[in-house]
């Protein structure tokens, strides 16, 4: 049976179609479900193995990117989300979805506490939205199931509020010591580097983190925007074998097939 | 009770917006400020308990990791008025910072908020979020404003200047300035921008049976923009006995209602009826005189209709909100390009965001409704570096940044990739800029068994209005845009588009479309409901609208205002009664407001009521066809007679530095910062991006999308715009724009087989008046551009499936000495092209690929530098404008398409502004490899002037590189076209051009690239 993926959409989420397509290519049965279909009970989160919160501009980024959607989830769907996480099911938040997850406190979710906000994603140091491809170094020690077998990724970052900031030094230390930092911005030679390689000024060049189980993953760059070779900005001059972003979705599907 | 919440960053957290503002104050306004911090202010006008407020601040308004908040008092961590530095008092200062020798203290607080009635999008979102948290209706409003804490030893006037020239636009925003001390004492509550219209809605009656003078007075006083002839037509209509008899039956008489005059003014406005394009024109040139009965019918429509018969991919043209062509067997493509010049001139951000969000509704409102797949932009403004003698209300730099930001927010927040665009600078646009926005959408080939490009409304169908609510904003947009800038402008005309609301509407309508829940759809743009319902009702031949049912932003609107308001983000649909419940249910799921506001009928009447009382009762055919035809005169004066000639210039001595100079010219150089700030990759479909090459930072000729996931078919997207050539002859300007757009599509691997245009004219007014003495010449320029459009769309078989004209590219601007001058823009026409790509995997980009690849120039280089960058750089215009030979061009384009299709081509690049030298430099630094070029091998028609060979802008030319093993096959395909093998790609980064064995250019490509990137590097 194909793993069932819930692609959350509505209220300005805008990468729902390509995220759905990415999961389908990876072998899932992916369904777009409107936020209000979950709230009304028309669809139940428990019927799915994977939840994807795609990128976009939910609520127009008003008040703070991801903030209002996080609020909507917190005050309408907290129990459903909590149950989903407890059962060890998979969640990915991409870009705006990542912003939602950190603002809900689901990430990093230290000590199994999934509702305390410890980190945030805020305005890029450049003060502007930018669409720029970034090189990512994947932490080989991370438990993240989404990035298994991946050493580096090349993906587009497209955001205005992607700068990762922790509440305090202790949080950074825990992120490092627990190998929660899954992906970091690097230059083309593999070194952590400043702008424009790090497009937003993130602490520790953080592009993505996971929870302690490695099943919940959030990242700013867009794996769903590199599903086939021609998405790559230089495919007409370099040999590109496959869409690198697809590997992320395949990992999740394989995990569900084997473990859930 | 109102509460005021302030939210700011904690100590040590970087305030990127504040830093950006600081940079612009220093660089753009030359005001030395030492620091700028920002604070978000939310004023909640509703009853809430203290606990609730604190809870909302903690959980909604602030980010606990980086922000802090205050309620009903200034946000301050360490407010200490005793600490002083010079004359300054401190505010929001950390103890550490105070010890720093760079610390000047916060001296001023500027708070910027919206004027009453201007839509507060963030406030609306906050209201919804509060209701979500509290699980109850808020029964009140949230208003947002922003505080700027500005440090520096400055006078209040300087802060006023910063507020006026940078932080706010006085048309839609207001500001309050305090020194920090008085702010802490009394600045806590600023007036709430609440709209209260203490007014009972009424419909007033106007007697049109009056003398001519009175008729004109009515038109002027009500800002109807109707001329005497049109007012007389209205007068005669209302005097018809049969009209009076019918009107008496429903309670009206020979007097017109205000709503009727307003509705007619909207429907008949230049904006909606294109009166100049439909005028009867007497055209005179040295060959004699002829009469043209409607430029639109004679040239545009006749070309398109002819091609529509011939080309089976052309499906629906020139009537709906956008033109429709076939994409493949399953999908149709709807494309529309618009301009939003007047509003952008007054409020660049608001004008542009409303423009792009508005044009999205065109594909959405075409046929059965399109799902948006891409947008493009075109910004024609004065030079951002302008420092001449005019004092426009907004400097071109600010205007450009405003429109850029408007398109950024409109596109990014709507989830539509802004994939391609142009910028073009000329100081003629200081009077009024030309701001192009284009949108395209996919419609299923069949919806409910009916062709996706068709729509209808049957008698008995419900009229449903969906999306945003109606307010007084945007009243008179259609009539105003037909007037000259500076004549008058009212705040109500400028709106701030709301991409968030419309994105919800978009998702809803796609679902409703796919469920077959509506029969027809159109957008509420110019003219509001009067136009949208009026247009849709042509299918049923009549309607009855109940205006009190229309959801309003606030009470107090008169019925006529409800009828013509152009409040944004609204669509009108026809829904059959048995589907209305399901339709409304889906709307609810998407949190979209949908309201039945009346019924389509077959009464033949434009009938609307307010609480049962008649508001309009016009005959449909009068409303839509009644507009009288204008009569105009055009007189062409050939360029020679206008004093144009070819200059005699000394040849360039140092070609290295001259090439750098040309590469740095504003209409040649890189504006990468614009492209980067548009999300051009959302939807995952972009396969040839606008920035390509080794470092992904050089413009591709065109952009290619793969809009359907499981198909490798694609679309090539580009545009052509060349206003400078129009100084000599608009015929060739239009031709060269067509040729450029096509060349761009061919260069990436497209073909002429399935391509189409949108034509968008932006013209200075060709209406004769005291301050427009050369109107006849401007009209002749328009005639010639249309003639070219006809000739070349027919030759290339590329129909104009939709388009738009904006016929008032003029503005009255103050000079430094205070006197006023009328500025007219260059006649401007943008051809936006889209062409089908059979297999995107065969596309090519312009960057050179491998060392040793052979470089070819295709096409003939002629003595055609009239209107060129080269002449302009040397202070000339010239006479020899480039010309296009369509037969030769088509042969070449077809051959190149075939060569690309057979994978023989490594790179292809059209030669555009700046000519061969610029094109060579671009392909070289894009590929990160040097070139070696022998100029003697460039095919010319006897041209032996090096400057001219390098910088001629002859049309229909390309640079192509191929791998040496493809030489024979490539040359064989190109056999019937003129081409020259002019050199090789080098392994290093040296750019070399020789002629007669003599080196004329030798330069490292980083230096050339730097020259090309330099002007906008800091933008």
pLDDT for position B491: 46
Whether residue B263 is predicted with pLDDT greater than 70 in this model: the reply is yes
- For residue B708, count other CB atoms closer than 10 A to its CB: 16
According to DSSP, the β-strands at B703-705 and B698-699 are: unpaired
Q: Give yes or no for A194 touching B (CB within 8 A).
A: no
- For residue B532, count other CB atoms closer than 10 A to its CB: 25
Mean of pLDDT over chain B:
92
Task: Please confirm, yes or no, whether A95 is among the known catalytic residues.
Answer: yes
Measured CA to CA, the distance from residue A102 to residue A118 in angstroms comes to 8
Q: Are B179 and B81 in contact (CB under 8 A)?
A: no
Give the ranges where A61-106 is alpha helix by DSSP (H). 67-76, 78-86, 96-104
Whether residue B104 is predicted with pLDDT greater than 50 in this model: the reply is no
Burial label for A207, CB within 10 Å (0-12, 13-18, 19+), is: buried
| Cα Rg, chain A, nearest whole Å | 17
- DSSP structural state of residue B343: H
Phi/psi at B816 (nearest 5 deg)?
Answer: -55, -35
Residues paired with B150 in a beta bridge: B36, B108
Residue B812: HSE in the Cβ half-sphere, 13 Å Cα cutoff? 12
Which among A15, A71, A122 has the least Cβ separation from residue B59? A71
Residue B806 labeled ligand binder? yes
Phi/psi at B85 (nearest 5 deg)?
Answer: -135, 110
Q: Give yes or no for A203 touching B (CB within 8 A).
A: no
Cross-chain residue pair B682–A15, CB shorter than 8 Å: yes
Residue B523 labeled ligand binder? yes
3-state secondary structure of B962: strand
Position A1 confidence tier, pLDDT thresholds 50, 70, 90: confident
Q: Are B878 and B871 in contact (CB under 8 A)?
A: yes
Using alpha carbons only, give the angle A170, A176, A178 rounded to the nearest 5 degrees: 95
The alpha-carbon gap from B65 to the nearest alpha carbon of chain A, in Å, equals 5
A90/B85: higher pLDDT = A90
According to DSSP, the β-strands at B594-600 and B462-467 are: antiparallel
Q: Give yes or no for B421 touching A (CB within 8 A).
A: no
Chain center to CA of B136: 40
CA distances from B376 to B405, B702, B758, B834, B983 (A): 14, 11, 12, 11, 35
Q: What is the mean pLDDT of residues B958-978?
A: 98
Residue B803 labeled ligand binder? yes
Residue B422, preceding peptide bond in cis (omega within 30° of 0): no
The alpha-carbon gap from B649 to the nearest alpha carbon of chain A, in Å, equals 41
Which helix (H) or strand (E) element contains residue B232?
helix B228-239
3-state secondary structure of B609: strand
The alpha-carbon gap from B64 to the nearest alpha carbon of chain A, in Å, equals 7
Residue B492 labeled ligand binder? no
The alpha-carbon gap from B18 to the nearest alpha carbon of chain A, in Å, equals 9
For the record, the structure tokens of B828 come out as: 């401007």
pLDDT for position B494: 63
Q: What is the mean pLDDT of residues A53-77?
A: 96
Measured CA to CA, the distance from residue A120 to residue A167 in angstroms comes to 8
Q: Give yes or no for A34 touching B (CB within 8 A).
A: yes
pLDDT for position B487: 38
Give the ranges where B59-155 is alpha helix by DSSP (H). 95-99, 121-134
Q: Are B656 and B1002 in contact (CB under 8 A)?
A: yes
Q: Which of B67, B133, B684 to mutate to test binding with chain A, by most A CBs within 10 Å of its CB? A: B684
Burial label for B762, CB within 10 Å (0-12, 13-18, 19+), is: buried
Measured CA to CA, the distance from residue B394 to residue B435 in angstroms comes to 15
Provide the Cα torsion A44, A47, A48, A54; round to 10°.
-10
Position B240 confidence tier, pLDDT thresholds 50, 70, 90: very high
Residue B739 labeled ligand binder? no
Residues 6+ apart with CB under 8 A from B933: B855, B920, B982, B983, B992, B993, B994
| Percent of chain B's residues with pLDDT above 70 | 94
Q: Are B334 and B365 in contact (CB under 8 A)?
A: no
Q: Are B660 and B1008 in contact (CB under 8 A)?
A: yes
The alpha-carbon gap from B573 to the nearest alpha carbon of chain A, in Å, equals 21
pLDDT tens digits, B545-594: 999 999 998 888 899 999 999 888 999 999 999 999 999 999 999 999 99
Using alpha carbons only, give the angle A140, A143, A144 rounded to the nearest 5 degrees: 90
CATH assignment of B2-186? 3.30.1280.10
Q: Are B1006 and B989 in contact (CB under 8 A)?
A: yes
pLDDT tens digits, A97-149: 999 999 999 999 999 999 999 999 999 999 999 999 999 999 999 999 999 99
Burial label for B968, CB within 10 Å (0-12, 13-18, 19+), is: exposed
Q: Which of B199, B274, B340, B909 is catalytic?
A: B340
Residue B410 labeled ligand binder? no
Question: Which range has the worst mean pLDDT, A157-166, B637-646, B810-819, B888-897?
Answer: B810-819
CATH assignment of A4-259? 3.40.50.880
pLDDT tens digits, B365-417: 999 999 999 999 999 999 999 999 999 989 999 999 999 999 999 999 999 99
Which among A123, A156, A237 has the least Cβ separation from residue B849? A237
Position B188 confidence tier, pLDDT thresholds 50, 70, 90: low
Nearest of B192, B66, B168 to residue A64 by alpha carbon: B66
- DSSP structural state of residue B59: I
Cross-chain residue pair B677–A130, CB shorter than 8 Å: yes
Most trustworthy range by pLDDT among B75-84, B222-231, B724-733: B724-733
According to DSSP, the β-strands at B446-447 and B450-451 are: antiparallel
Measured CA to CA, the distance from residue B836 to residue B827 in angstroms comes to 30
Using alpha carbons only, give the angle B794, B919, B701 rounded to the nearest 5 degrees: 50
pLDDT for position B101: 44
Q: A-chain residues within 8 Å CB-CB of B691?
A: 233
Instruction: Give the count of Cβ contacts less than 8 A between chain A and B.
Output: 178
CATH assignment of B647-669+844-1019? 3.90.650.10
Q: Are B1005 and B943 in contact (CB under 8 A)?
A: no
Q: A-chain residues within 8 Å CB-CB of B688?
A: 236
pLDDT for position B566: 87
3-state secondary structure of B397: helix
Which residue's structure tokens are 């009469």? B291
Q: Which of A15, A135, A222, A244 is catalytic?
A: A222
For the record, the structure tokens of B323 come out as: 């033109």
Q: Which of B120, B412, B906 to mutate to test binding with chain A, by most A CBs within 10 Å of its CB? A: B412
Question: Which residues 5-34 of B have a C-beta within 8 angstroms of A?
Answer: 13-14, 16-17, 19-20
Whether residue B97 is predicted with pLDDT greater than 60 in this model: the reply is no
Q: What is the mean pLDDT of residues A26-47?
A: 98
Whether residue A219 is predicted with pLDDT greater than 90 in this model: the reply is yes
Q: Which of A237, A244, A249 to mutate to test binding with chain B, by most B CBs within 10 Å of its CB? A: A237
According to DSSP, the β-strands at A130-138 and A181-186 are: antiparallel
At what angle are helices A67-76 and A78-86 packed, to 10 degrees? 90
Task: Please confirm, yes or no, whether B680 is among the known catalytic residues.
Answer: no
Cross-chain residue pair B63–A72, CB shorter than 8 Å: no
List strand residue ranges (DSSP E) for chain A, in order. Answer: 4-9, 29-34, 50-53, 90-94, 119-122, 130-138, 152-159, 163-166, 181-186, 206-210, 216-219
Indicate if the alpha-carbon torsion angle B325, B326, B330, B331 is positive or negative: negative
Which helix (H) or strand (E) element contains residue B402?
helix B396-412
Which among A76, A117, A158 has the least Cβ separation from residue B682? A158
For the record, the structure tokens of B710 come out as: 């499981």
The residues spanned by each domain of chain A are 4-259
Q: Please give the full DSSP string across A16-31, using - where no structure is assigned.
A: HHHHHHHHHHTT-EEE
Nearest of B839, B834, B840, B802 to residue B716 by alpha carbon: B834
Measured CA to CA, the distance from residue B698 to residue B676 in angstroms comes to 12
Q: Are B147 and B39 in contact (CB under 8 A)?
A: yes
The residues spanned by each domain of chain B are 2-186, 647-669+844-1019
Give the ranges where B48-142 is alpha helix by DSSP (H). 50-56, 95-99, 121-134
Residues 6+ apart with CB under 8 A from B182: none
pLDDT tens digits, B511-526: 999 999 999 999 988 8
Whether residue B180 is predicted with pLDDT greater than 80 in this model: the reply is no
Which residue's structure tokens are 């587009």? A156
pLDDT tens digits, B686-705: 999 999 999 999 999 999 99
Cross-chain residue pair B709–A10, CB shorter than 8 Å: no
pLDDT tens digits, B274-291: 889 999 999 999 999 999
Chain center to CA of B318: 20
Position B435 confidence tier, pLDDT thresholds 50, 70, 90: very high
Residue B430: HSE in the Cβ half-sphere, 13 Å Cα cutoff? 25
Cross-chain residue pair B692–A236, CB shorter than 8 Å: yes
Phi/psi at B466 (nearest 5 deg)?
Answer: -125, 150
Q: Are B597 and B571 in contact (CB under 8 A)?
A: no
Cross-chain residue pair A231–B686, CB shorter than 8 Å: yes
pLDDT tens digits, B140-164: 999 999 999 998 888 888 999 999 9
Whether residue B311 is predicted with pLDDT greater than 50 in this model: the reply is yes
Nearest of B420, B351, B423, B436 to residue B383 by alpha carbon: B423
């Amino acid at each position: 049976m194909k793993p069932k993926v819930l692609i959350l959409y509505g209220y300005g989420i805008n990468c729902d179609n390509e995220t759905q397509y990415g999961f389908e290519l990876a072998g899932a049965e992916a369904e777009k479900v409107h936020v209000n279909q979950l709230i009304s009970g028309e669809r139940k989160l428990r019927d799915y193995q994977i939840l994807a919160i795609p990128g976009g501009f939910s609520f127009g980024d008003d008040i703070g990117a991801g903030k209002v959607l996080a609020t909507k989830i917190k005050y309408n769907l907290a129990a459903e989300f909590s149950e989903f996480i407890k059962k060890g099911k998979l969640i990915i938040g991409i870009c705006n979805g990542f912003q939602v997850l950190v603002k809900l406190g689901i990430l990093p979710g230290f000590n199994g506490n999934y509702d305390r906000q410890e980190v945030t994603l805020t305005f890029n140091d450049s003060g502007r939205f930018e669409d720029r491809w970034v090189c990512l170094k994947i932490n080989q020690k991370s438990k993240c199931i989404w990035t298994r077998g991946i050493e580096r990724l090349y993906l587009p970052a497209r955001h205005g509020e992607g700068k990762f900031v922790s509440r305090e030094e202790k949080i950074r230390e825990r992120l490092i010591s627990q190998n929660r930092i899954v992906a970091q911005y690097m230059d083309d030679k593999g070194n952590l580097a400043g702008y424009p390689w790090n497009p937003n000024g993130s602490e520790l060049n953080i592009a993505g983190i996971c929870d302690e189980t490695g099943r919940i993953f959030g990242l700013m760059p867009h794996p769903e925007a590199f599903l086939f070779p021609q998405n790559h900005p230089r495919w007409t001059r370099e040999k590109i074998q496959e869409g690198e972003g697809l590997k992320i979705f395949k990992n999740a599907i394989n995990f569900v097939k084997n473990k859930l | 009770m109102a509460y005021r919440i302030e939210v700011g960053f904690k100590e040590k957290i970087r305030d990127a917006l504040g830093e950006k503002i600081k940079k612009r104050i220093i660089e753009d306004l030359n005001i030395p400020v030492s620091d700028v911090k920002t604070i978000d202010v939310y004023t909640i006008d509703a009853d809430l308990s203290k606990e609730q407020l604190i809870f909302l601040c903690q959980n909604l308004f602030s980010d606990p990791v980086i922000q802090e908040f205050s309620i009903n008092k200034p946000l301050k961590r360490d407010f200490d008025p005793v600490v002083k530095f010079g004359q300054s008092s401190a505010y929001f200062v950390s103890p550490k910072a105070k010890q720093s020798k760079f610390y000047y203290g916060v001296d001023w607080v500027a708070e910027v908020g919206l004027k009453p009635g201007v839509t507060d999008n963030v406030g609306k979102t906050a209201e919804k979020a509060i209701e979500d948290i509290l699980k109850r209706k808020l029964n009140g409003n949230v208003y947002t404003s922003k505080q700027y804490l500005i440090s520096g030893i400055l006078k209040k006037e300087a802060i006023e200047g910063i507020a006026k020239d940078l932080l706010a636009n006085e048309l839609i925003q207001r500001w309050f300035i305090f020194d920090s001390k008085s702010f802490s004492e009394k600045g806590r509550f600023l007036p709430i921008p609440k709209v209260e219209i203490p007014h009972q809605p009424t419909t007033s009656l106007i007697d049109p049976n009056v003398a001519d003078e009175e008729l004109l007075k009515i038109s002027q006083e009500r800002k109807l923009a109707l001329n005497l002839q049109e007012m007389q037509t209205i007068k005669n209509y209302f005097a018809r006995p049969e009209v009076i008899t019918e009107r008496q039956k429903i309670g009206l008489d020979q007097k017109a209602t205000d709503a009727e005059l307003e509705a007619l003014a909207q429907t008949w406005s230049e904006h909606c009826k294109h009166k100049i394009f439909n005028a009867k024109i007497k055209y005179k040139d040295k060959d004699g005189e002829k009469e043209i009965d409607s430029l639109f019918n004679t040239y545009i429509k006749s070309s398109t209709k002819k091609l529509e018969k011939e080309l089976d991919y052309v499906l629906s043209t020139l009537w709906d909100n956008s033109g429709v062509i076939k994409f493949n067997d399953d999908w149709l493509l709807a494309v529309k390009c618009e301009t939003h010049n007047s509003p952008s001139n007054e409020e660049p951000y608001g004008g542009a965001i409303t423009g792009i969000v508005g044009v999205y509704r065109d594909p959405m409102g075409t046929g059965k409704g399109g799902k948006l797949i891409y947008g493009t932009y075109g910004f024609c403004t004065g030079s951002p570096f302008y420092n001449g003698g005019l004092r426009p209300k907004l400097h071109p730099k600010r205007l450009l940044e405003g429109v850029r930001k408007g398109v950024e927010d409109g596109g990014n927040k709507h989830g539509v990739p802004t994939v391609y665009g142009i910028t073009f600078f000329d100081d003629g646009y200081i009077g009024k800029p030309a701001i192009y926005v284009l949108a395209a959408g996919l419609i299923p080939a069949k919806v409910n068994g009916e062709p996706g490009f068709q729509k209808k409304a049957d008698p008995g169908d419900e009229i449903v209005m969906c999306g945003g609510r109606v307010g007084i904003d945007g009243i008179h947009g259609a009539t105003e845009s037909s007037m000259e800038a500076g004549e008058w402008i009212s705040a109500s005309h400028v709106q701030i588009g709301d991409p968030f609301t419309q994105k919800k509407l978009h998702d809803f309508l796609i679902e409703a479309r796919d469920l077959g829940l509506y029969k027809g759809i159109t957008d509420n743009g110019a003219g509001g409901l009067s136009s949208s319902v009026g247009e849709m009702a042509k299918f049923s031949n009549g309607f009855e609208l109940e205006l009190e049912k229309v959801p309003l932003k606030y009470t107090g609107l008169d019925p006529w205002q409800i009828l013509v308001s152009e409040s944004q983000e609204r669509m009108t649909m026809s829904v059959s009664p048995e589907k209305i419940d399901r339709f409304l249910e889906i709307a609810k799921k998407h949190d979209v407001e949908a309201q039945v506001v009346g019924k389509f009928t077959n009464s033949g009447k434009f009938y609307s009521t307010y609480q049962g009382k008649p508001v309009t009762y016009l005959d449909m055919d009068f409303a839509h066809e009644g507009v009288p035809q204008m009569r105009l005169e055009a007189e062409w004066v050939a360029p020679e007679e206008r004093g144009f000639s070819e200059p005699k210039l000394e040849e360039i001595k140092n070609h290295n530095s001259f090439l750098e100079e040309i590469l740095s010219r504003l209409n040649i150089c890189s504006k990468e910062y614009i492209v980067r700030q548009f999300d051009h990759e959302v939807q995952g479909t972009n396969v040839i991006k606008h920035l390509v090459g080794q470092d992904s930072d050089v413009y591709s000729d065109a952009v290619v999308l793969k809009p359907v996931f499981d198909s490798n078919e694609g679309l090539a997207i580009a545009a052509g715009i060349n206003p400078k050539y129009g100084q000599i002859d608009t015929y060739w300007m239009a031709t060269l724009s067509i040729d450029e757009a096509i060349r761009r599509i061919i260069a990436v691997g497209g073909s002429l087989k399935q391509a189409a245009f949108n034509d968008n004219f932006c013209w200075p007014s060709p209406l004769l008046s005291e301050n427009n003495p050369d109107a006849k010449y401007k009209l002749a320029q328009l005639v010639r551009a249309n003639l070219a459009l006809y000739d070349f769309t027919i030759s290339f078989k590329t129909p104009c499936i939709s388009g738009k004209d904006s016929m008032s590219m003029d503005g009255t601007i103050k000079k430094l000495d205070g006197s006023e001058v009328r500025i007219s823009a260059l006649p401007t026409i943008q051809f936006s092209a889209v062409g089908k790509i059979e297999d995107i995997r065969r596309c090519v980009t312009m960057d050179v690929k491998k060392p040793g690849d052979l470089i070819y120039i295709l096409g003939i280089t002629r003595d055609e530098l009239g209107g060129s960058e080269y002449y302009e750089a040397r202070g000339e215009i010239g006479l020899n404008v480039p010309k296009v030979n369509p037969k030769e061009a088509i042969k070449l384009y077809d051959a190149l398409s075939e060569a690309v299709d057979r994978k023989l081509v490594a790179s292809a690049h059209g030669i555009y502004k700046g000519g061969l030298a610029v094109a060579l430099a671009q392909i070289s630094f894009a590929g990160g490899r040097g070139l070696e070029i022998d100029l003697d091998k460039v095919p010319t028609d006897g041209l032996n002037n090096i400057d001219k060979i390098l910088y001629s802008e002859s049309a229909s030319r390309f640079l192509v590189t191929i791998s040496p093993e493809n030489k024979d096959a490539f040359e064989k395909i190109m056999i019937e076209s003129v081409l020259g093998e002019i050199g090789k790609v080098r392994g290093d980064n040296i750019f070399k051009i020789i002629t007669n064995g003599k080196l004329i250019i030798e330069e490292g490509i980083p230096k050339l690239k730097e020259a090309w990137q330099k002007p906008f590097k800091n933008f």
